[in-house]
C-alpha cells in the first residue's frame, strides 16, 4: 500500500486497526449474549474510546456500521482499514459493513441529507417490537438505540394516556406508547419521508395508523395519527383546537432550518439552546389539567444548558385568563424538573468521554 499524502503511515494505521479490532471484539463478547436474551439486535460497540481512533461502530443484527468523526484532515484510506480489521475480528463479511462519516456542530444537519439511494430497509428487533432499518442511505439508520430505555419508560407510563411525539422521526416512541396501551398517539415530523417510515414501523408492529399532511382534519377517537407538519405550527393549531395530552416526548435536533417553513417567530431556523424555552412552553399549554402529566425532553447537544429557572417562571396564557376571571389559578404548573440522563443511557452507550444524550422528566400539576 503506497502513501497518498504526507500524513499517511501504513504502520501507524495498522496498529490502530489492531487496537480497534481487539477493543471491539472484547466489547462484543461482553454485550452480545445479554442483548440476545432481551431480543435487542442493535447496540453500540465503540465510540471514540481510544483518543487517536475517532470512530463509532454499531452492531445491526449481523451488519456493522462503521463511521468516522470528521476532522479537518482525513485520509480516505483510514476508515476502510479500520472497518476491515473490525469485520475480520467479528467474522462479518465486508458486504455487510457500511461506512459513514459523522459531522458535529451546525454541520450535524448533514445527517438528514441522503448519502446514497439504495432504498433498502431491513427489519430488526428491539425487545418485542420491530423496526425498519436503512443502513446505507442516511447517516442515521431509522432508530436511535441510545433511547431504547427511555422508550421503555414511555411504554410503562402510556396506559390509557393521550401521547404526543414531536420531531417523531420514525415514531419508535409512538410504537412503544401504543404497545403500552396508550389511548391515542399523535406523532409529528416535518419530513414526508419520516412520516412514511413511521407508518411502515407502526404497521410492522400491527398498530393501526392514519397518516396526514396537516393537522386540520383531526378525527375524534382516532387512536394513532401521523402528521407531517412543522412542530411550532402544529402546536399553534393544536392549541386552537383544544387538543390535550397526558404524556409527551420531544427530542428535537440541535439545529435545523427549513426553506418551506411558515414559522415567522423563528425566522425559519431552530437552535435548541435559544429556542427550547418557547418550545417547551408551547407544549406545556397542551398538557391536560387535573392530572400529573409528563414531558420527556431530550437533546444530544453536547453543550446544552436547560433553562430551568425560565421554565419554572413561565406564566401561561391560560393562567393569565384564569386569574383575570377569578383568584383561582387552574392552569398548568410545573411540579418538578428532574434530569434523568443516567437512567436513560443504556450500558453500551455509557462512556467517560461524553454523554450520548441528556434527558429531563418534566412533571406538571
Here the CATH number for the domain that contains residue 308 is 3.40.50.150
**pLDDT at residue 318 in the model:** 46
Same-domain check for residues 46 and 132: no
Which residue's C-alpha cell is 393569565?
Answer: 320
pLDDT in tens, 45-78: 999 999 999 999 999 999 999 999 997 778 999 9
In a domain, 111, yes or no: no
Same-domain check for residues 89 and 221: no
| Residue bearing the bigger pLDDT, 198 or 219 | 198
Query: What CATH number is associated with residue 75?
Result: 3.30.750.80
Same-domain check for residues 176 and 256: yes
Same-domain check for residues 75 and 41: yes
pLDDT of residue 108 exceeding 80 = no
Angle, CA of 166, 69 and 342, to the nearest 5°: 50
In a domain, 110, yes or no: no
User: Quick one: cell of 148?
Assistant: 431504547
**Residues 6 or more apart whose Cβ sits within 8 Å of residue 290:** none
Same-domain check for residues 198 and 51: no
Same-domain check for residues 47 and 149: no
Mean pLDDT over 202-218 rounds to: 77
Last-in-domain residue among 75, 104, 133: 104
pLDDT in tens, 296-310: 999 999 899 999 999
In a domain, 1, yes or no: no
In a domain, 153, yes or no: yes
Same-domain check for residues 60 and 205: no
Same-domain check for residues 143 and 86: no
**pLDDT at residue 74 in the model:** 84
In a domain, 112, yes or no: no
Mean pLDDT over 100-126 rounds to: 79
Same-domain check for residues 287 and 174: yes
Alpha helices in 38-138 (DSSP H): 78-90
Count of CB atoms situated within 10 Å of the CB of 314: 18
* Bridge partners (DSSP) listed for residue 42: 60
What is the average pLDDT score of the chain?
Answer: 88
The answer to whether the CB of 230 falls within 8 A of the CB of 253 is no
User: Quick one: cell of 335?
Assistant: 411540579
pLDDT of residue 259 exceeding 80 = no
pLDDT in tens, 305-357: 999 999 998 754 445 444 444 433 344 689 999 999 999 999 999 998 889 99
The answer to whether the CB of 306 falls within 8 A of the CB of 360 is yes
In a domain, 114, yes or no: no
Same-domain check for residues 179 and 303: yes
* Three-state DSSP state, 142: coil
Domain hosting 209: range is 125-364
Q: In percent, how much of the chain has pLDDT > 90?
A: 75
**pLDDT at residue 214 in the model:** 57
Mean pLDDT over 10-28 rounds to: 97
How many independent structural domains does the chain possess? Answer: 2
The answer to whether the CB of 268 falls within 8 A of the CB of 230 is no
pLDDT of residue 260 exceeding 60 = no
Alpha helices in the chain (DSSP H): 10-37, 78-90, 148-157, 172-179, 192-204, 231-241, 272-284, 308-312, 317-325, 341-344
Lowest mean pLDDT among 73-77, 111-115, 227-231: 111-115
Q: In percent, how much of the chain has pLDDT > 70?
A: 84
Last-in-domain residue among 104, 137, 159: 104
Same-domain check for residues 100 and 139: no
pLDDT of residue 263 exceeding 60 = no
Mean pLDDT over 272-276 rounds to: 95
Last-in-domain residue among 42, 71, 104: 104
In a domain, 317, yes or no: yes
Same-domain check for residues 153 and 78: no
Give the dihedral of Cα atoms 55, 194, 235, 290; nearest 10 deg: -80
Amino acid at each position: 500500500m503506497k502513501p497518498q499524502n504526507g500524513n499517511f503511515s501504513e504502520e501507524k494505521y495498522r496498529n490502530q486497526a489492531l487496537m480497534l479490532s481487539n477493543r471491539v471484539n472484547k466489547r462484543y463478547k461482553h454485550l452480545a449474549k445479554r442483548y440476545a436474551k432481551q431480543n435487542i439486535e442493535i447496540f453500540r460497540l465503540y465510540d471514540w474510546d481510544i483518543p487517536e481512533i475517532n470512530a463509532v461502530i454499531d452492531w445491526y443484527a449481523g451488519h456493522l456500521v462503521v463511521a468516522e468523526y470528521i476532522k479537518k484532515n482525513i485520509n480516505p484510506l483510514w476508515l476502510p482499514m479500520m472497518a476491515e480489521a473490525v469485520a475480520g475480528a467479528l467474522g462479518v463479511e465486508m458486504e455487510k459493513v457500511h461506512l459513514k462519516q459523522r459531522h458535529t456542530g451546525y454541520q450535524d444537519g448533514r445527517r438528514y441529507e441522503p448519502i446514497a439511494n439504495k432504498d433498502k430497509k431491513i427489519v430488526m428487533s428491539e425487545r418485542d417490537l420491530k423496526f425498519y432499518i436503512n443502513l446505507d442511505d442516511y447517516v442515521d439508520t431509522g432508530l436511535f438505540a441510545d433511547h431504547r430505555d427511555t422508550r421503555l419508560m414511555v411504554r410503562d407510563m402510556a396506559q390509557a394516556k393521550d401521547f404526543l411525539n414531536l420531531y417523531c422521526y420514525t415514531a419508535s416512541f409512538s410504537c412503544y406508547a401504543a404497545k403500552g396501551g396508550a389511548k391515542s398517539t399523535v406523532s409529528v415530523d416535518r419530513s414526508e419521508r419520516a412520516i412514511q417510515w413511521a407508518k411502515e414501523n407502526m404497521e410492522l408492529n400491527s398498530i393501526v395508523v392514519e397518516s396526514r399532511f396537516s393537522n386540520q382534519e383531526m378525527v375524534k377517537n382516532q387512536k394513532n395519527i401521523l402528521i407531517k407538519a412543522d412542530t411550532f405550527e402544529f402546536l399553534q393549531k393544536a392549541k386552537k383546537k383544544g387538543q390535550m395530552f397526558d404524556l409527551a416526548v420531544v427530542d428535537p435536533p440541535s439545529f435545523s432550518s427549513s426553506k418551506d417553513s411558515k414559522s415567522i417567530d423563528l425566522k425559519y431556523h431552530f437552535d435548541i439552546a435559544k429556542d427550547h424555552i418557547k418550545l417547551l412552553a408551547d407544549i406545556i399549554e397542551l398538557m391536560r389539567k387535573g392530572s400529573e402529566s409528563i414531558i420527556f425532553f431530550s437533546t444530544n447537544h453536547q453543550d446544552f444548558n436547560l433553562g430551568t429557572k425560565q421554565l419554572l417562571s413561565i406564566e401561561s396564557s391560560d393562567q393569565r385568563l384564569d386569574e383575570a376571571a377569578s383568584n383561582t389559578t387552574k392552569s398548568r404548573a410545573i411540579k418538578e424538573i428532574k434530569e434523568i440522563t443516567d437512567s436513560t443511557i443504556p450500558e453500551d452507550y455509557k462512556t467517560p468521554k461524553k454523554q450520548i444524550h441528556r434527558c429531563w422528566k418534566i412533571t406538571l400539576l
